[in-house]
Amino acid sequence: MDPTMIAAKRSQQEQERVLGTVISSLTLGTADITHHPDYLNVEYGFNLSIDAFGGQDRAHHILEWFATPCKELIVAAFNSQIKGIAELLSHIEFSQVNPTDDPWGDNAETVVLLKQFITHYLTEPGHPALPGNIYDALIDDEYKSSANDPLLRAKLFLSVLTGYAAIPIDPSWKIKCLITHDWNEEFPRTDEATGIEDYGPDVSVFFRACFQTFSISNNARLRLLLLCETPEAGCDTEFGRFFHGQLLASRQQYTGV
């Protein structure tokens, strides 16, 4: 917006355009929401936010105000809430960071397996069965109370990657899974000093919420998890347990910066 117009009175059309920009920033969507029954409430709140900042409608001021519970209103009103796993899966895009590096000679197979395991993980209800309740300390009352929710994992996944458990309106919006092939040593490797077999470094799953991406390293440990079992309905996998733990541990890391 023109800096000289920050404190100037705007036309209704200009005001609506600014509000539309704010809503798009929060919902990652581009749909026309002016006819939504809650639109007038949001518009009223928006005008209050402008008054609160003395007419300064710089984006960071407005977004700061909308980081209040009003954000939840906008999300609930203008985003499509999750209705099924298939809907979520259609927004996940798998790609290889370095597809020409093929230490195992089966990159394509690894990508297919990852899709199967992640799909299986998201499809199962509630928390995975965690031996010894390893992650109890990470599961707060909110998640305990919805332990049997068939969409719990999907909501957790989205809350880590986007900051809230809703699918943006824009059908082109994606969460990207970036797969890096980075392990090419002998498998498994035996430690000469201890005689213990080393299956490589821990699986690396890194969530970058502000970019709606998560990265997975195709190393020996990942291959062990993917090749030692087959996903079956009603049964958790070791990969699923690991992935769930990583999501729980990453819940407080979301940032829109």
Same domain? 96 vs 184: yes
Specify whether the CB–CB gap between 107 and 99 falls below 8 A. Answer: yes
Q: Counting beta carbons within 10 angstroms of the beta carbon of residue 203, is it exposed (0 to 12), middle (13 to 18) or buried (19 or more)?
A: buried
Domain span including residue 173: 85-253
Same domain? 102 vs 207: yes
Same domain? 185 vs 112: yes
Q: In whole angstroms, how far apart are CA 68 and each of 29, 51, 61, 137, 181? A: 19, 16, 12, 28, 41
> What's the pTM?
0.65
Residue with tokens 């297919």: 112
Same domain? 143 vs 119: yes
Same domain? 116 vs 242: yes
Q: Tens-of-pLDDT digits for all 257 residues of the chain?
A: 343 334 445 566 666 666 666 666 655 555 556 666 666 666 776 666 666 655 555 555 555 555 555 566 565 555 556 677 888 898 899 998 888 877 677 888 889 999 999 999 999 988 887 654 545 555 565 666 666 788 889 988 988 887 767 666 666 778 889 888 875 555 556 667 777 765 555 557 767 655 678 888 888 778 888 888 999 999 999 899 888 888 887 876 544 32
Same domain? 105 vs 42: no
Element (H, E) at 233: none
The Cα 159–Cα 251 span in angstroms is 7
Q: In whole angstroms, how far apart are CA 249 and each of 46, 134, 194? A: 34, 12, 32
Token output for 151: 């969409």
Same domain? 42 vs 124: no
Sequence-ordered strand ranges (E) for the chain = 80-81, 92-96, 166-167, 175-181, 189-190, 197-198, 205-208, 213-218
Same domain? 36 vs 89: no
Tens digits of residue pLDDT in 37-68: 666 666 776 666 666 655 555 555 555 555 55
The total number of structural domains in the chain stands at 2
Which of 78, 98, 122 is the C-terminal boundary of a domain?
Answer: 78
User: For 192, which DSSP code?
Assistant: T
State the pLDDT at residue 41: 66
Report the Cα 164 to chain-centroid distance in Å: 8
State the pLDDT at residue 9: 53
